[in-house]
Amino acid sequence: MMDMYEEIIDSICQAYGIKKMHLLSKRRDKKLVYVKKLTYVTLRNLGLSLPKIGKLLNKDHTTILHGIRTFK
Average confidence score pLDDT of the chain? 95
Tell whether the model's pLDDT for residue 2 goes beyond 70. no
Confidence class of residue 9 from pLDDT cuts 50, 70 and 90?
Answer: very high
Q: How many residues does the chain have?
A: 72
CB 70 within 8 A of CB 47: no
- Residue 42's nearest CA partner among 28, 27, 55, 53 is 53
The rounded Cα 1 to chain-centroid distance in angstroms is 17
The pTM score is 0.94
